[in-house]
Amino acid sequence: ETGVTQSPTHLIKTRGQQVTLRCSSQSGHNTVSWYQQALGQGPQFIFQYYREEENGRGNFPPRFSGLQFPNYSSELNVNALELDDSALYLCASSYNRGRGNEQYFGPGTRLTVT
């Protein structure tokens, strides 16, 4: 059973650029949730994808978008990067929108915007 994986591990971008982050869910899981964690803060919910459709969104602007593929892997896209987008981006894998007790996080992608 493979765990949750994310790529890349680290990324440095310039303000105004666009970025795509990737997440592969744990085997058997069909739901991926994305979180943003600023330094010293708890993770903040961005959105969740369940069976290739968005299933809930947090308080993030439309320039944060995503999608989920038939194999349940997912991408997070951020357009027009701002300095405040610098954070650790985490994806969490679960089954059936996380209604059980399984909600496992990937290692994260650390994004730095300069």
Partner 1 sequence: GQNIDQPTEMTATEGAIVQINCTYQTSGFNGLFWYQQHAGEAPTFLSYNVLDGLEEKGRFSSFLSRSKGYSYLLLKELQMKDSASYLCAVRDLDTDKLIFGTGTRLQVFP
The contact mask relative to partner 1 for 48-87 (x = CB under 8 A, - = no) is x------xx-x-----------------------------
What distance in Å separates the CA atoms of residue 36 and residue 2, rounded to the nearest whole number? 23
Residue 65 three-state SS: strand
Beta bridge partners of residue 90, listed in sequence order: 35
108 makes contact with partner 1 (CB under 8 A)? yes
Q: Of 15-23, 36-44, 61-69, 70-78, which part binds partner 1 (CB under 8 A)?
A: 36-44
User: Least distance in Å: CB of 75 to partner 1?
Assistant: 18
Q: Are 2 and 102 in contact (CB under 8 A)?
A: no
